[in-house]
Amino acid sequence: MKIQVKLIIGAVIAVIVFMIIILLPNERKLLLRDINSLKESVEKEDKIKVLRYISDDYLDGHGVDFKGLTSIIDEFFKNADSINILMSGLKVKIDSINRHKTIFAQCSLGLRVIAKYEEEKILVFGGVIQPGSVFGYFKKKDGVYKLYSARY
């Protein structure tokens, strides 16, 4: 009787572990989801959704902070008739978790941004032959990965 109970408990534990590992989304998948949602929000020119994925303490290597980035987004959305973003070679990595249980992550990708201005397509970022190299640095806050810095 005791062996049967142990086998049943072992089987239940194995099923629970399987569900956690296989069925629940992992952090890499969540980061990819948020990167793709950010891309779609920019293409739809939805500033509120875009800012959902940008950290309030954003600061990149060019000295652009959250306020400056918001101004760039406003100007870009105001002037562009349509936006198309092409991503290639997207790689994501979960870096660490700090003592406040904040998850840090990064991505690298090739990026090409094409916008339509007054019926003309213009290459806004990236090259004609090769996309521009971008590195994004994220931290998870309130269940969402937010971009807090970038190199481009």
- What pLDDT does 12 receive? 52
Residue 41 lies in a domain: yes
142, HSE (Cβ side, Cα atoms, 13 Å): 6
The answer to whether position 78 is within a domain reads yes
- Pairwise CA distance, residues 142 & 132, whole Å: 30
- Residue 129 lies inside a defined structural domain of this protein: yes
Asked, for residue 74, whether it belongs to a domain, the answer is: yes
**Whole-angstrom distance, CA of residue 58 vs CA of residue 55:** 5
8 Å CB contact between 92 and 106: yes
Q: Which residue has the tokens 């969540």?
A: 30
- Parts of the chain with a pLDDT under 70: 1-25
pLDDT of residue 104: 97
Domain total of the chain: 1
Sole residue written with tokens 């408990």: 9
Indicate yes or no: pTM above 0.75: yes
pLDDT at 98: 85
Q: State the residue range of the domain holding 54.
A: 26-151
